[in-house]
Amino acid sequence: MLTLFTDTDTDITPVEAAEYGYKLISMPYSIDAETVHPYEDFEKFDSRTFYDKLRSGILPTTSAISKERYREYFEPDFKEGNDILYVHFSRAMTNTFDAMD
């Protein structure tokens, strides 16, 4: 079986992921001294506040997750013998792929 993973940088909501059978990897970001985990914090995310901060010049920063965190996401599917396809941002735009290497 093939399991499709993508990450929260794609703006796919948890509802959409469940509907289409995707698995989401949460890519945290920090903005205004607060760390947000988009998948886990989805219900409390306020897009109006987020974009107001951007308009005021407060920009988010991101960081790649660890190899161990990727392993936590992928391991159950590997143990079941599933193939994995992970669709993520281009290497030119993020360290996501390099963090898994």
Looking at the domain that runs over 2-96, which CATH code has it been given? Answer: 3.40.50.10170
The whole model's pTM is what? 0.77
Tens of pLDDT, residue by residue over 26-82, are: 888 899 998 888 777 777 778 888 899 999 999 998 878 889 999 999 999 999 999
Q: b vs e for 26-37, b when ≥16 Cβ sit within 10 Å of the residue's Cβ?
A: bbbbebeeeebe
Does an H or E element contain 85, and which? strand 83-87
Higher pLDDT, 90 or 26: 26
Pairwise CA distance, residues 77 & 56, whole Å? 42
Q: Collapse the DSSP code of 34 into the 3-class scheme (helix H, G, I; strand E, B; otherwise coil) and give the result.
A: strand
Q: What does the domain layout of the chain look like in residue ranges?
A: 2-96
**Please, where are the H alpha helices in 38-95?**
47-55, 67-79
Pairwise CA distance, residues 93 & 79, whole Å? 31
